[in-house]
Structure 1
C-alpha cells in the first residue's frame, strides 16, 4: 500500500477529472457505516475512556450534519454523474466524510485526542456544504432528473431474429397463447438480461398461426423509464386510433379509448421489458375480459413483477442454452451464408461457444467479433483466451443490456451485487458466509440482519444471481453469478472504486500502476500469488476490508503474515480463511475495528487478545483435527459477537456474557453445566459436538433453557455400531426447546424408538436423519407426532422396513431418501398425505423405485396431479425404469448439485 506521502504525490499526478470520479464513487453505504459508528460513539457503546473526552458535543454535531448531507446523497443518485453542480456538492460531502472517518477510526484505535485537532475545521466545512445544499430543493432535483429522463428514447420493437434452441419453450408459449382457455390469460417470460426473452416473445408474436388467431396485435416496450400517457399513446398507435391533442393529455380518456377498441375482440398484447409493477397497474384497466381467448404476453427480468401481474400462475423461467445450441447459434451468426464452420475452426469455435455459458447475448457479442475479423485458428484462440474482456470491454457493445440490470438496482442492492466481484469466476459461494460478510461491511445493520437474505433473494429475482443449491426449507444455500455478469460486476466495482484486485507480482512490475493503491482503496481482494504479495509488505490506513476468497493456500509462515495486523490497522473485514498459519498471534487484538474475522490455523488455543475485539460480529476459524480452546475470560468485551463457527470444534471453560450471539457452530459440549450456552440467551442456531466419556457413555445435556433456539445439529464423535448401552436411553430428547424448527442428527447411533420423543416438538418443520444417526432395521412411527413436519430427509443404510401411517405426518410436503440401500419399499400411505408434493430418491433399489411409481399411479387415479417424483439412478447407464411415466423425473446423473442430494457439510451447520 502507499503511505500518506506517496498518496499525496499520487493525487498530484492524477488528472483532476479522474480524481473527482474516484472520490465521487465512495459508495453511499460507506457513509452510512460512518454515521452508524458516530451513533455508537455518542451512545457510549465503546469503552469508558470515550465518555471522558471533551469531544462528545462535536461528535453529535458530526452525526447530525452527516445525516443531513446523506439525505442529499440519496436525492442525487440519478444526477450526480451528469449534472456538474450536483457532482461538485457530492464530491465535497465525500471529502468531508473521508476525513471524518479517518479521524474517528484513528481515535478509536488509540484513544488519542490529538486525532481530533482538525475537527472544528471539519464541522465548519459541513455547515458550509449544508447551506449550499439547501439551494437544491426537491423540485430542482426532480427537474434535473426529468431533463435527463426525457432525453432517453424508448427502444422500438426489436427486429425479428432467428432463434436457436428454446423449441420446447416456444411450443409451450404458443400452446398457451392459442389454447382453449376462454378467460383472459397472462403469460410471463422471466430471465436475466440477454437470455432471449424478447427474441422468444417475438418468435411467438410473429408465428403465422398466432397472427391468424388474434384480431388485434399490440407490441409495446416499457423499459426502465416510461411516462404513463406515452405508454398509452403507443398502444393507441398500435391499434390505429386517432388521438386529439386534448385526449393525449388525458390519461382517463386514453384508457377509455383503448378499452373500447379492444372490447369484444380477441387480442394479443405483448408488454416487453417491464421493470416495475406500476407500469402494469397503470394500463391493466384497459384490457377487457370477454371470455374469448384474449392473451397478454409479458417479459421481465423480475419474478416479483410477473407474480404481481398474475399471482396464481408461475412465470416461465427461461433457461440457458445447451452447449450444442450455443454452438449452432455461434455458427449461424459467424457464417450466415450456410451456417457451417470450417473444419479447422470447429474445435476452437465449440470451446468459445461453451465459454459463453449458454447466454445468447454473450454468444451474439462474440459472434459479432468473430464475423468481422480474420477467421484463423490463431485469432480464435486469442478470442477464447480473452473472452471475458471482449464481453465487457466495449461500452458500445450489447453488454449495455446487462448493465441496465445494475443501473436499475436500488442503492442498497448495488453494494451487495458489486461484492460478487471479489469472488473468482464460477465460484460457488456459501450464502451463510456471504450474508455475514455483507453485515460486516455495513451494507446491512446487525440489528436487521434478517433482511440480508431478502436482499439476496431480490438479486436472484432480478436474474443477477444464480441459485446453485437450496436448503430444505427453500432458502438459498449456495449461489454464484454467471460468468458474463461476473465480468460486468468486476468492471463496475473497479470503475466505481468499490473493489481493488491485488494482481500477480509480475504484472505489477510490468505495469507500475497495475496494483498501485489509492487513497480510496477501501476493499482489497486477492485470489492467488499470496506469498508474493506478503513479501512486498504493503501498508495502508485506509483499507477497511481484506479478502482472500479463493481456495486454500499454504506456505506462509506466521512471521510473514504478522505485519498485516499493523499494516491494515483499520480493518473491519478480514477474510483470510484460505491462508494456513501455524498458530494465531496475539497481535490480532490490535485490529480493534474488526467486525468479521475468518482464519485457518493449526493452533489449539485462540489468543486471549481476541477477547478485546469489541466490535467483532462474526468469527470463523478453521482448524485441523483437535478441539480449539476459546479464551472466554471474565473481562471479555465481545458483547457484539453474533456468529461463531470454529471447526472441528470449540470448547470453553469460562463463562462470558454473549447477549447478541445467534449462531454457534461445532461447540464441544462437556458433561454437566453448559457455561457458554447459559450466557447466550438469544441463540438461534447450534451445531454441537459430543465426545463419549469413560466406558463409552454419552451424556447429552438438556438444552430446554435455550428458548429461542430454532436449528440444532447433533454429532457424536464415536463408533457405536453395536448399539448404545441401555442406561443411555433416557429422555434427553424431552429436554430440547420447543422453539426448534429444524433438527439434524449425525453419527448418533440412537434407537429408532427415540424419535417418538422428538416428534412431540410442537414447531418442528424439518428433520434430517443422516448417516449413522439412528440404528436398527425397523422404524415404527406413533400417533400424535410430527404434527408440523414439512420436510423429512433420511440417510440410513441400516433401515429395512418403515411402518407408518399418513396421520403420523399430517403436513409432510417433501420426502428425501438417500443411500437407503436396504429399504424394501416406501409406505404407500405417504401418498395419502394431503400436503405431499415431492418424493425424491437417491440411488434406490428397484423395489423402492417401483413402490414410488405405485404411489404415483394411485394418486393419479384419485385425481391428485400435484405429486412429483424424482429418482436419481445409481449410475448414468443404469436407469431405474425402462420406461418413463409422465410426471416422474428420472435423473441419470451420478452426482447432482440439487439441494437435497448434496453431502452434509462437516462445519457444524445447524
Structure 2
C-alpha cells in the first residue's frame, strides 16, 4: 500500500492550480511532467498490482521474516522519492512566502524537478519488469480463513452457547456479595459479549431485582459518561435542577440519588482504570448488591491492575473458563470467561482474525478514504473527536481535494459505514458532531500507519529508528518528551499533534519555541490541552502553517505577528478570551475558522 504517492500527486495538482503560491513558468512545465509520470505509476499500481499490494499489507502480521520482493523495493524507493520531492517543494514555497526570499530557489526547484522526473521514469521502467499477480480472490480467502477459525473457536467455546452460562451471569449479578462489585465479561472470539450482556440486562430477573439500571457506552470524557448515567436513572424533574451545575455537584447528585437504591450500571465497549477510579467516587456502596457489568477486551489494562484473592497478579495464560475472583482497590471483581482455551491463546486467535480482516478492509479503501482512515490513528482510542476539528485537520493535511467540509463529512460517513469509526454524538439534524475509534480498530490503524511510515505515534518515549527520518507526521499522547529528541525527526515534519488528556500539563515557552525552531515547515501544530503561559513567538516563523491550536487561558491580546501567517485556515484557542485583535487580521485571507472562547474583532476596512 502506497499512500505517499497519491498525496504527492494531489499536492502537485494544488501547486499547478496556484493554491500554494505562484510558480515560475519553467517550474510549472516540470511539475506537469512530474505529475503526469506519478499519476501513470499510481494508476499502474492500482490497476495491475492491487493484489500484490494487498498481499504485502496482509504480510505485516507474519511471524516469520519476509524477504523484500522487487515490488517492495520499488515501493520503498517511491517513498524516498516522494520525500525528496516534498522537500524541494517546501523549500521553494518557504522561500516564496518569506519577505526576503532567495530568488535562486526557482532555478534550484527546476533542477530538482528535472532530477526527480528522471528518477520516476526509472521507477516506471522497473515496475514494468515486475510480473503482477491477478488470479487470487482475497475476499473469498479472507472469508474462508475467518469462518474456519470462528467455527473452530465456537466448537471450543461450547459453554458460551449453553444455558448455564446465562445462569452463571445472573447468579453473579443477583446472588453475589452485598458490596458494590464489578462483573466483567471477557471478550472471546466467536462469542458476542454485547448480545450476551443485553440478554441479561433485559431479563425479568434483573428488571425486578434492581431498582434502576443504566446502559452506557464508554466515553473518554468522564464528565459526559456521568451525564449519560444521570439522564438514564434520574427523573426529568430532578435532572433539571442539576443540569447547569458543575462537575462535582453533578457527581454528588448522582451519589445522593442512588443512595439506598440497588442499581446496575452497564459499561459497553471498554473499561479502564480511569473509568473505575472515577466511578468509585460517583457510585455509592450501601452493601445492597449493586453492580457494575462491564465488557472487557482481552487487551484491557484492568487485568494488570487487579489482584487475585491470593494477592497474586493475573496471568492471562492461566485464565480458563469460569468465574475468576479478584479485587481492585479492595473492590470485588468477578471475571467471566467462556473459552476452553487459555485467555492468552484466545487473545492470539482473536487478534489474528480481526487483524487480517481489518488489514484487508484498509487495503480495499480508495485512496482518499485510506488517507483519512489512517489519520485517525493520531487520536487516542475511544477519545471523543470533534468532527469539526477532524474536518479542519483533514483539509489542512491536503486529504480533501476541494477543501470542502461537506466533502470531509461525506468521507467520515463512509468510514462510519465501514465501521472504522463510531458515532458518539449527533446534532438535531442527524449530522455527526463527535465520533471515536474503538480500541482494537485504533490499535490496528496505528500498526498500519506506522508500518507504512505515514505517522509516528509516541505513547511514552521516542525510540530511534530510520523511519523517523522520513515520517511527516508526529502524534504524542502522554508525557512531554525532551526537546533533544527532535533531532531524530525530519526537519521537514508536516504535522505535530500533542494530544494529551491531562489538562494540567504545562510547558515552557522554550519547549514550544524549540518545536518551531526544529520544524519550520509545519502545516499543522496542535498542542491540545497543554497549558501555555503566553503566546510562543517561535510560531511566527511557521509561515506554511494552515492549522494552529493552542491553549493559552491568559491570552487577552492577539499578537500582531500572528497575522503574518497568511496561509492559516484554522486558529483554535478555545480557552482564550480575546479583547483586542490587530487590524491586520483582515489580511489573513485564507482564515476560515476562529475557534476561540470569545473574540473582539476590529472593524473591517472594507
What secondary structure sits across from 2:428 in the alignment?
A: coil
1:33 to 2:7 alignment: yes
Matched-pair contact (CA < 8 Å) for 2:453–2:467: no
Task: Work out which of the residue numbers 503, 507, 523 in structure 2 matches 1:572.
Answer: 523
Q: Which residue pairs with 1:905 in the alignment?
A: none
- Cα deviations by residue, 1:622-657 (Å, 9 ceiling, x for unpaired): 3444435154356x2x3333322122x12222537x
1:561 to 2:512 alignment: yes
Matched-pair contact (CA < 8 Å) for 1:570–1:591: yes
Listed as ranges, the matches of 1:493-642 within 5 Å are 493-504=449-460, 507=461, 513=463, 518-530=468-480, 532-534=481-483, 536=485, 538=487, 540-551=490-501, 552-601=503-552, 602-632=554-584, 636=587, 638-642=588-592
Q: Which residue pairs with 1:414 in the alignment?
A: 370
Kindly tell me the number of residue pairs found equivalent between the two proteins. 447
Alpha-carbon shift at residue 47 of structure 1 (Å): 4.6
Matched-pair contact (CA < 8 Å) for 1:621–1:646: yes
Change (3 A) 1:545 1:336: closer
Q: Which residue pairs with 2:122 in the alignment?
A: 128
Matched-pair contact (CA < 8 Å) for 2:362–2:370: yes
Change (3 A) 1:72 1:560: same
Matched-pair contact (CA < 8 Å) for 2:376–2:437: yes
What secondary structure sits across from 1:518 in the alignment?
A: helix
Listed as ranges, the matches of 1:303-342 within 5 Å are 324=293, 326=295, 340-341=322-323
Task: Work out which of the residue numbers 379, 391, 407 in structure 2 matches 1:435.
Answer: 391
Task: Work out which of the residue numbers 100, 104, 128 in structure 1 matches 2:89.
Answer: 104
- Cα deviations by residue, 1:118-145 (Å, 9 ceiling, x for unpaired): 3322221222333444567xxx75x535
Q: Which residue pairs with 2:32 in the alignment?
A: 60
Q: Which residue pairs with 1:678 in the alignment?
A: none
Alpha-carbon shift at residue 472 of structure 1 (Å): 1.2
- Cα deviations by residue, 1:663-691 (Å, 9 ceiling, x for unpaired): xxxxxxxxxxxx6xxxxxxxxxxxxxxxx
Greater helix share, structure number: 2
Matched-pair contact (CA < 8 Å) for 2:563–2:584: yes
Alpha-carbon shift at residue 430 of structure 1 (Å): 1.4
Relative contact order (alpha carbons < 8 A, sep ≥ 6): 1 or 2 greater? 2
Task: Work out which of the residue numbers 587, 602, 606 in structure 2 matches 1:653.
Answer: 602
Q: Which residue pairs with 2:274 in the alignment?
A: none
Alpha-carbon shift at residue 436 of structure 1 (Å): 1.4
Alpha-carbon shift at residue 556 of structure 1 (Å): 2.1
Matched-pair contact (CA < 8 Å) for 2:495–2:523: yes
Structure 1 stretch displaced more, 415-424 or 563-572: 415-424
The separation in 2 between residues aligned to 1:616 and 1:395, in whole angstroms, is: 42
Change (3 A) 1:64 1:352: farther
- Cα deviations by residue, 1:97-125 (Å, 9 ceiling, x for unpaired): 22111101111112444443433222212
Listed as ranges, the matches of 1:26-425 within 5 Å are 27-28=2-3, 30-47=4-21, 50-51=23-24, 54-75=26-47, 76-80=49-53, 82=55, 84-111=69-96, 112=102, 113-114=104-105, 115-116=108-109, 117-133=111-127, 141=132, 143-146=133-136, 154-155=144-145, 156=147, 158=151, 159=154, 161-162=157-158, 196=191, 324=293, 326=295, 340-341=322-323, 343=325, 353=335, 368-370=341-343, 396=352, 399-425=355-381
Matched-pair contact (CA < 8 Å) for 1:570–1:592: yes
Matched-pair contact (CA < 8 Å) for 2:526–2:550: yes
The separation in 2 between residues aligned to 1:199 and 1:556, in whole angstroms, is: 42
In the superposition, the TM-score normalised over structure 1's length comes to 0.43
Matched-pair contact (CA < 8 Å) for 1:519–1:542: no
Alpha-carbon shift at residue 364 of structure 1 (Å): 6.9
Matched-pair contact (CA < 8 Å) for 1:468–1:480: yes
Q: Which residue pairs with 1:279 in the alignment?
A: none
What secondary structure sits across from 2:468 in the alignment?
A: coil
What secondary structure sits across from 1:575 in the alignment?
A: strand
Alpha-carbon shift at residue 82 of structure 1 (Å): 4.4
Q: Which has the larger radius of gyration?
A: 1
Alpha-carbon shift at residue 88 of structure 1 (Å): 3.8
Change (3 A) 1:626 1:591: closer
Q: Which residue pairs with 1:251 in the alignment?
A: none
The separation in 2 between residues aligned to 1:198 and 1:554, in whole angstroms, is: 37
Alpha-carbon shift at residue 547 of structure 1 (Å): 0.4
C-alpha RMSD of matched pairs (Å): 4.4
Alpha-carbon shift at residue 346 of structure 1 (Å): 10
Alpha-carbon shift at residue 54 of structure 1 (Å): 4.1
The separation in 2 between residues aligned to 1:422 and 1:57, in whole angstroms, is: 36
What secondary structure sits across from 2:77 in the alignment?
A: helix
* Structure 1: unaligned runs, 5 residues or longer: 1-24, 171-191, 202-318, 355-362, 373-389, 657-674, 676-910
What secondary structure sits across from 1:579 in the alignment?
A: strand
Matched-pair contact (CA < 8 Å) for 2:15–2:21: no
Matched-pair contact (CA < 8 Å) for 2:193–2:295: no
The separation in 1 between residues aligned to 2:13 and 2:344, in whole angstroms, is: 58
The separation in 2 between residues aligned to 1:109 and 1:124, in whole angstroms, is: 25
* Structure 2: unaligned runs, 5 residues or longer: 57-68, 97-101, 167-186, 197-267, 272-291, 304-313
Change (3 A) 1:629 1:153: closer
